[in-house]
Amino acid sequence: MKANPATDRIIRKMQPGVLTRDGFLGEDDRSLKELTDSDDFAVRKMELTHSGIANRIEYLAEVGRKGYGTPMLYMGAYEITVEEVKGRIACPWGRCGTFQKGTVKIHNVNTDMTIVTTPLGIHMIREHGFYQGKGSPYRLDPYTLRWTLW
Ligand SMILES: [Zn+2]
């Protein structure tokens, strides 16, 4: 496959210790395109969209933010914990601005499924259709997202 300098630069920034301690790819050895194509397929198959998923996480995070780090129960079904940490982080794609550090944890009481993401993670879903590599601490599997968020 022909090397793509822009993609190479993004991949370099996704390595552990560059933007984050653990990086974004985990032990996933698929190419960035294979990875995003595969997740895109899974998302479409469930009749969801990247922006729809990002909007839903942001909506629930907004509710959770009112707890200032303590879990908030929403509609008796979602336990949401938002922890903000000092500092900001850039997106590996670049030119996207920076994002508040911290985590958003959403536990669905009914399905007993949980996701943990970050403001950057939400941005990467929305703008880049990127759910991070398998084994990455913030990997968001589309199936888990489906059964946590709805
Ligand atoms: Zn970006």
Tell me the pLDDT tens digit for each residue of 106-147.
999 999 999 999 999 999 999 999 999 999 999 999 999 999
Q: How far is ligand 1, taken at its centre, from the CA of residue 13, in Å?
A: 12
Q: How far is ligand 1, taken at its centre, from the CA of residue 95, in Å?
A: 7
Residue 49 contacts by C-beta under 8 Å, 6 or more apart in sequence? 43
Q: How far is ligand 1, taken at its centre, from the CA of residue 126, in Å?
A: 9
Q: How far is ligand 1, taken at its centre, from the CA of residue 65, in Å?
A: 23
- The pTM of this model reads 0.95
pLDDT at 12: 96
Provide the residues around ligand 1 (an ion) whose CB is within 5 A. 91, 93, 96, 127
pLDDT at 71: 97
Q: Identify which of 77, 43, 79 has the alpha carbon closest to the alpha carbon of residue 61.
A: 79
Please provide the size of the chain in residues.
Answer: 150
User: How confident is residue 22, by pLDDT bands cut at 50, 70 and 90?
Assistant: very high
Burial 29-63 (b: 16+ CB within 10 A, else e): eeebeebbeebbebbeeeebebeebbebbeebbeb
Mean per-residue pLDDT, 52-60? 98
Q: How far is ligand 1, taken at its centre, from the CA of residue 92, in Å?
A: 7
